[in-house]
Structure 1
Amino acid sequence: MPIFRLILALAGCFILSESAAQGSLLKTKFYCRATSGKTAAILRELSGYCGVPIEFSPSSLDTTKRHTLTAGRTSLGAVLDKVLAGQYVTVTERNNKIIIGKGSTPLPDGYLQEKYMLYGYIQQESGLEPLPFASITLLPNNRTIQSNVHGFYSLNLPAGKYVLLISFSGASSKTVAIDLQENTVMNLVLSPVLLPEVQVDAGNLPRRDAGVKLDRYKGGMYSNMLGETDPVRSMYLLPGNTESQESGGKLLVRGGDPGQSMFLLDGNPVFNPAHLLGEVSILGNTSIKSVLQYKNDFPSRFSGGLSSITAINTKEGNMEQWSGEAEAGFSSLAFAIEGPLKPQRTAMMVSARQSLGESVYHDIFTYDANFGDIHLKLTHLFNKHNKLMVSSYIGNDRLELTQDNSQYLHRWNNTLTTVNWNSIIGKRVFATTAINYSSYNNYMGIMYTPPFEGVIGGLSESASLNNYSSGRRYEGKTDIEITTNNHWQHFFGGRFEHTTIQPYRTLLNDDLKEDADDFSSRTALPFTDLMLYYETAISIGNRLLLRAGMHFNEYRHNDFHFQSYQPRFFASYMIDERQSLSLAYTHISQLLHMITSPYTGIDRELWIPANERLKPAENRMVNIGYEYKDHKSIHITADVYYKNLSNLAMFAGKTNILYSNDSIEKSIVTGTGWSYGAEAAIEKRYNKWKMLLSYTLSWSWRKSDSLNNGIKQPYRYDRRHNVNVLLGYQPLKGLEVSLLWHFHTGDFITLPALISFKPEETFNTNMGNVPFRGTIYNRMNLNASYRIPTKGRFKHSVASGVHAIMQSHEQYITTITTTSRNYTMPLYQEQLFRFNPYFTYKLSF
């Protein structure tokens, strides 16, 4: 395969160039004599005793400059770097000689000196937890780099003395003085702070990507309906992001459906990434180390999510002491504990949450709801260069709605296991190798009783319709990061996955059936995918960064074979120290189709792998971004984007969306789509006040020759306006109050061309497939958190608030029911959440 050969060739070039650099004449060691004089005289003297001939023409030098050399053992490059500083010259090696010629630009400072690698991890004190995306700034020139998602950093510097400023949100900044005379492994340690208010200054560093980092340390600003600080859920505050009331509160990004947004937990895909209809994240805040969302730009290592990729990385466990927390509220209990099994070598972290029972939610939901999850992670350090992490996650949900004539039941779970090996190879290479397992089980059942005697919609007596599906995913992958120098990095790797989607036939019965053994399986849908990628990032000066890459997929499903080359490009330019522009182009594909019903109701989706008729969905997107940040009190972002979507799978207009059998794929049609819009966000801090305002103006269209006579129509999740306002105020030390208001335009609702409870019978209606705009969505939450002043190891805090304070009846899902012999289809708005006060208490140690 061409791209695989290209990756091997590039890796070979890096190794050869490194080997060549080791034999450089500029690295020749000698004893320098103390002397002073003009440039030409000193160069002639050096050539006579340093052991390396030096050739130059006086006309190519400013020979009037005087220099003073001190005695001592050094390298030829270090001496020439001092003598030729600021000269318009070039320095080359040829025939075992140093040749100095005339140049068009000044010789950069440190260009000829021997360079060494300074590398290691940036860690948090009292636990040695790696800190992702921490900043290292060289003083006094303010050149800045960042650690990667695993906390690893690498600097390529000339020999000498330096002062480093290390910064991280949630930790006290620290300066470190070093004398770099050889390749050095150094772990840099920062002390955590309880109430971080200082924003991390990334210096004059162009952005390496357009990913949005969600700060888990900004506690109290956003809490979910259980009173938990929830950095994952706070994604819904970002422009372009919103939630789907009618798909279990799942994430919608830039007009896409829930299946186009992928969640990765330590790099492992999660099929159902939420609890309680999307109101609670799958993982508690205590276990989370970092959250990044990619929707403006997709680095080449990512695939599988046309709209967004959200990468959640969990903490590795405290290597030095035991710590933890317990939390109790009206509706759930949670705990987390971490500590060393063997100090400085092996650590563990475990967290768990459990709802308190269905009866608790009667005042919160119109549903009975239960959820629980547990997460375990073990980390072992073999040495400074090798680390092994093993983690597992299990999550379960069950919700039920009972009404006069119907009963709805939905149950789902996730299971994930991840084995991850981090390795520092040599002084320039960081490698991550992982083996992942992910699975889901999804059950949905509806039981309906006619409101009066007679035959309605083909139904004359109580009956139930039960759907069940499951999936299993196995994956092995490797990602490699090579630092050539401070201005040039390379990223490449590969992944192989085997996935099996196991659908089951719909079970028609007179009661709800939850046991998987009651269902008969349909033909399994297995597929494999081989992915390779290469990407390079180049900094040109201190203002411009270019990153270009290629993503390759080879996909097989039964007899269907698909190959795809997907170019990616990102550029970032700093206008000045506060403003920057970015441009991104992305071509990304998705192999699993989530077939989303255009009609109403909760969780009407099916997972189907791409096949010969339903090709992999593809997105070609352009994004232009602007950012202003004064590093003190204000942060402004703005983006415009255009997405061209192809090979989208959709339900046909006459498909019974609740009925699944071997021929259901024949009822699915393909089409194209477009999404475009503008996004803006402002974050402002003023004394004790904090404000976040985000706004999105967007359009989303779909078109299929088999639907609406081939005329394009608004997509179900075409929401013209989306607004979030978050205000925070800190009246006292440790006390923070926040108010959230969310508004978005209603979804487009499409009524089916027919309705029938019995799949073998059809009942045409006089209503077509023309969508119309639904009711607006409007919600306000109030939250307060207080850290109780205490001394000693144990810390106490409380949180209280009101979810849905406006008690708006516009928080709804819409359902259709045939209730008369005329087969009319009135719409019913079922309120999801009621006015909900909450209170939680947390104990930390």
Structure 2
Amino acid sequence: MVLKLLFALLLVLPTSYLRAQKNTTISGYVKNKSSSEAIIGARIYCDSLAVGTVTNVYGFYSLSIPPGKHSILFSSIGYSPQKKLINLENDLQLDILLAEGKLLNEVEVTAEQLNHESTEISTINLSMDKVKSLPVLLGEVDILKTASLLPGIHSGSEGSSGIYVRGGGPDQNLILLDGVPIYNANHLFGFFSVFNADAINSVKIVKGGFPSRYGGRLSSVIDINMNEGNMNEYHGEGSIGIISSKLMISGPILKNKMAFMISARRTYIDVLARPIINAVNNNSSNYETKVGYFFYDLNGKVNYKINDKNRIYLSGYMGKDKFYLEDEYKYYDYDSTKYRYYANEAGMNWGNKIFALRWNHQFSPKLLSNLTLNFSDYKFVVGFEDSEYYEKANPISNNSFEYLSGIQDWGAKLDFFFYPNPKHKIVYGGNYIYHTFRPGVSTIVNNSSFGSLDSTFGANKTNSHEFYGYIEDDWSITKRLSANAGLHFSNLIVNKSYYNSLQPRLAMNYVLNEKSSVKLSYAAMTQYLHLLSNTTVGLPTDLWVPATGKVPPQIGHQIAAGYAVDFKKGYSISTEAYYKTMNNLIAYKEGASFLSAGENWEEIVEVGKGWSYGAEILLEKKVGKLSGWIGYTLSWTNRQFENLNFGKIYPYKYDRRHDVSLALTYKFNDKIDVGLVWVYGTGNSLTLPVQQYAANVSNSDPNQYYFNPPIENFQAKNDYKMPSYHRLDLGVNIHKPKKWGEAIWSFGVYNAYSRQNPFYIEYGYLPNDFSPNPTKVLKQISLFPLIPSVSYAFKF
């Protein structure tokens, strides 16, 4: 009953408010002219009244102005602006189609949304054209790697696609694909992300000053939207690279009514390695081995326009990584007259599945709603099986082990977008998620002539209910002062425990002059999920677990202050300082790991706190032949746990004092453009022993040393800094027009001066030292020297 009354109130209040207004309203959608896909963040501006608005995540806008004749400018970066002269007497529904533009000139730039005008702070929108033009590892375009080039965002280690935002962990990033959470965004053990750039329309990254519509994580929101499909004509693009190929096709199902988009990507590392493996197998007629690894992605979306006020979207993603090893050995059994076989299979696979059904409804020119039903499933499986047989159907013995973990969500979300007048943009709604956690279940099967065993052990499934409601208002208080203020309320029910949280959010912007402004924000965040991890590269063995009666939810508070200034020719500078606290963080106790988690994972973790603070500078140029950015981050990140490091404060593993990134592209003409990336970062923190004590080893048998290693003494956690990291990447793209479309050859060099960057450091022994007390030395392991790449892309 309460929910019904609340829902009715949410509809009645805007409706009653609208009756009291005297202004007329112009509203509609801004779309790409060639594909009819929504343009997010397009600006609508009435110069004579000095008022404007921007399109939301669905491309919808609403602007209330007095009746009469007005000149309205519609613009967006990368598109040719369009001016409309209208005579408003009544509310007007006006959809705008913007054509993709060439290089924008200075006059057009002044019409764009400027940094200093927005209440958004710690927020960056990534251009997909920019993402595709920068040089990358093995030519594989990667959204998260591009994001790690921005200030305040660090990659974990060499090649890894895991990201750490303002001192937070990888679990503290809310990664949304069409509004659905992705719980493991990594392919190839963390070296690539799961996002196929050809299927992506927009990427928005929020590091602080979180609007109230977002919740559930402490450090960042990465909001990714897939392409909606071309309503007008069939279109496709794809590429063939060193390790993978991909293809995306979109087009109308019913012209101007229904469209689709489907994309696929697959690696062929296993195919390339097959000749080498076959050559090894040919050396032995009794032994055969199959080993391989691959990953694939499938993205799909259908967009159906029922009428001007109702639209339905169905989107989905499936991705999987698989590593496998199979070998078979045959030998002649002298007790019989035939061969006996021994076979072994081992493997690991993990992947995500998400689906979303969305209904977009326009109640009036000022009120839009969006209802989303979604499903998300992440699963990780590792195991092995060995058997002996004369015939596969009748094994003599069979042994197997399987370890399974994952998280599954069912959810429903309802959002309202209300535009009462140019001074207010109100967004409110709620979300419900039903979580099912599988934090580690092991199954052992043993069948032989001596007996059989079939046992399953580990944690049982844990179900929880998470709900949040929110309201926010982007309010132009005066001509100079604006604010985005809101509240986010959430709760969690898990087993017999109940948690709730009220999180205030505020972001303010004060315009100093026509070019610059100062900004301030505060955000409280609560996270009901934890990630159990003791790895350094974001392996899929990391376990998602819920807050429980023994392990409370994570709680964070962040304040940020900034200064933004816009210059002519598309240049802008933003500087920010921030301070963030994080409570109820968890970490494994000394010596524990995911293998010992089982059903008692709460007993092997420590609960502590952390904090991070620093400053960021971003110099950006969005338009022109030369575009890109230079970013710099100065930061400190610490952790403290009562039973780790003797209770003393220690630096977080990814505490980097300095981080510099340079990402530039230069377009010579329509046929040639080049890209350059240079990064520098202070080394990661590492725990190394400072002393070692010899074990009881007999001088007469030095080999005993290797079975009785010395006892190591650690002085402090993460007290050693690895060498600094720096790297230069170069790339060139050559575009060739064809009768059927366009062909693009991309050539790149990763780590152009072959810097031997540290992946990890450990103590090792000098070669050929077999003395009773061999000398230990620090050894650096590096992954990637200079790596060239080439790929062929096409558009039609």
Distance (Å, rounded) in 2 between the aligned partners of 1:238 and 1:369: 31
> Comparing 730-739 with 4-13, which one deviates more in the overlay?
4-13
2:201 maps to amino acid: K
Partner residue in 2 for 1:470: 406
1:148 pairs with one of 56, 61, 66: 56
Partner residue in 2 for 1:222: 134
Partner residue in 1 for 2:748: 801
For residues 686 and 795 of structure 1, do their structure 2 counterparts lie closer, same or farther at Cα, with a shift above 3 Å needed? Answer: closer
2:194 maps to amino acid: I
Partner residue in 2 for 1:522: 459
For residues 701 and 140 of structure 1, do their structure 2 counterparts lie closer, same or farther at Cα, with a shift above 3 Å needed? Answer: same
Partner residue in 2 for 1:118: 26
> Comparing 231-240 with 815-824, which one deviates more in the overlay?
815-824
Distance (Å, rounded) in 1 between the aligned partners of 2:314 and 2:16: 35
Offset at residue 768 of structure 1 (A): 5.0
Map residues 151-190 of structure 1 onto 2, 5 A cutoff: 151-190=59-98
2:429 pairs with one of 493, 516, 519: 493
Offset at residue 162 of structure 1 (A): 1.1
Offset at residue 124 of structure 1 (A): 1.1
For residues 250 and 152 of structure 1, do their structure 2 counterparts lie closer, same or farther at Cα, with a shift above 3 Å needed? Answer: same
Distance (Å, rounded) in 2 between the aligned partners of 1:218 and 1:601: 26
Query: Is this contact kept in 1: 2:659–2:682, CA < 8 A?
Result: yes
For residues 599 and 373 of structure 1, do their structure 2 counterparts lie closer, same or farther at Cα, with a shift above 3 Å needed? Answer: closer
**Is 1:238 the equivalent of 2:238?**
no
% identical aligned pairs: 29
Distance (Å, rounded) in 1 between the aligned partners of 2:653 and 2:42: 40
For residues 235 and 601 of structure 1, do their structure 2 counterparts lie closer, same or farther at Cα, with a shift above 3 Å needed? Answer: closer
Offset at residue 239 of structure 1 (A): 0.1
> Comparing 283-292 with 618-627, which one deviates more in the overlay?
283-292
**Is 1:833 the equivalent of 2:744?**
no
3-state DSSP of counterpart to 1:172: coil
1:295 maps to amino acid: K
Structure 1 portions without partners, runs of 5+: 22-113, 448-462, 511-516, 755-760
3-state DSSP of counterpart to 1:202: coil
Distance (Å, rounded) in 2 between the aligned partners of 1:508 and 1:518: 5
Query: Is this contact kept in 2: 1:811–1:833, CA < 8 A?
Result: no
Partner residue in 2 for 1:645: 582
Which has the higher relative contact order, 1 or 2, with Cα contacts under 8 A spaced 6 or more apart? Answer: 2
Distance (Å, rounded) in 1 between the aligned partners of 2:464 and 2:374: 16
Offset at residue 689 of structure 1 (A): 3.5
For residues 687 and 285 of structure 1, do their structure 2 counterparts lie closer, same or farther at Cα, with a shift above 3 Å needed? Answer: closer
For residues 504 and 657 of structure 1, do their structure 2 counterparts lie closer, same or farther at Cα, with a shift above 3 Å needed? Answer: closer
3-state DSSP of counterpart to 2:130: coil
Distance (Å, rounded) in 2 between the aligned partners of 1:762 and 1:585: 52
1:807 maps to amino acid: S
Distance (Å, rounded) in 2 between the aligned partners of 1:706 and 1:607: 22
Residues 728-781 of structure 1 show CA distances to partners (whole Å, capped at 9, x for unaligned) of: 333444311122111211221235999xxxxxx999743355222223222221
Distance (Å, rounded) in 2 between the aligned partners of 1:600 and 1:376: 29
3-state DSSP of counterpart to 1:217: helix
Residues 663-695 of structure 1 show CA distances to partners (whole Å, capped at 9, x for unaligned) of: 232010111111000011112489743452111
Partner residue in 2 for 1:788: 736
Distance (Å, rounded) in 1 between the aligned partners of 2:458 and 2:776: 33
For residues 498 and 134 of structure 1, do their structure 2 counterparts lie closer, same or farther at Cα, with a shift above 3 Å needed? Answer: same
Partner residue in 2 for 1:266: 178
Residues 33-88 of structure 1 show CA distances to partners (whole Å, capped at 9, x for unaligned) of: xxxxxxxxxxxxxxxxxxxxxxxxxxxxxxxxxxxxxxxxxxxxxxxxxxxxxxxx
User: Aligned-residue CA RMSD in angstroms?
Assistant: 3.6
Residues 121-177 of structure 1 show CA distances to partners (whole Å, capped at 9, x for unaligned) of: 001112211110001121345433111111000010111111111111221111111
1:545 pairs with one of 469, 475, 482: 482
Partner residue in 1 for 2:163: 251
3-state DSSP of counterpart to 1:504: strand
Partner residue in 2 for 1:300: 212
2:310 pairs with one of 386, 402, 421: 386
* Structure exhibiting the larger radius of gyration computed from Cα positions: 1
Distance (Å, rounded) in 1 between the aligned partners of 2:2 and 2:642: 36
For residues 782 and 600 of structure 1, do their structure 2 counterparts lie closer, same or farther at Cα, with a shift above 3 Å needed? Answer: closer
Residues 685-719 of structure 1 show CA distances to partners (whole Å, capped at 9, x for unaligned) of: 89743452111111111112122222111111111
Query: Is this contact kept in 2: 1:627–1:637, CA < 8 A?
Result: yes
Distance (Å, rounded) in 1 between the aligned partners of 2:536 and 2:63: 55
Map residues 546-585 of structure 1 onto 2, 5 A cutoff: 546-585=483-522
Partner residue in 2 for 1:44: none
Partner residue in 2 for 1:74: none
3-state DSSP of counterpart to 1:126: coil
Query: Is this contact kept in 1: 2:52–2:63, CA < 8 A?
Result: no
Distance (Å, rounded) in 1 between the aligned partners of 2:193 and 2:600: 35
Residues 462-509 of structure 1 show CA distances to partners (whole Å, capped at 9, x for unaligned) of: x99975311111110101111110101221100110111112245799
Partner residue in 2 for 1:201: 112
Query: Is this contact kept in 2: 1:322–1:339, CA < 8 A?
Result: yes
Distance (Å, rounded) in 2 between the aligned partners of 1:276 and 1:783: 23
1:282 pairs with one of 189, 194, 199: 194
1:542 maps to amino acid: K
Distance (Å, rounded) in 1 between the aligned partners of 2:504 and 2:317: 34
Question: TM-score scaled to structure 2, two decimals?
Answer: 0.83
2:795 maps to amino acid: S
Distance (Å, rounded) in 1 between the aligned partners of 2:154 and 2:492: 31
2:367 maps to amino acid: V
> Comparing 492-501 with 813-822, which one deviates more in the overlay?
813-822
Matched length? 718
**Is 1:431 the equivalent of 2:366?**
no
Query: Is this contact kept in 2: 1:232–1:291, CA < 8 A?
Result: no
1:381 maps to amino acid: K
> Comparing 551-560 with 798-807, which one deviates more in the overlay?
798-807
Map residues 621-636 of structure 1 onto 2, 5 A cutoff: 621-636=558-573
Offset at residue 236 of structure 1 (A): 1.1
Partner residue in 1 for 2:19: 19
Query: Is this contact kept in 1: 2:156–2:536, CA < 8 A?
Result: no
> Comparing 407-416 with 717-726, which one deviates more in the overlay?
407-416
Offset at residue 324 of structure 1 (A): 0.7
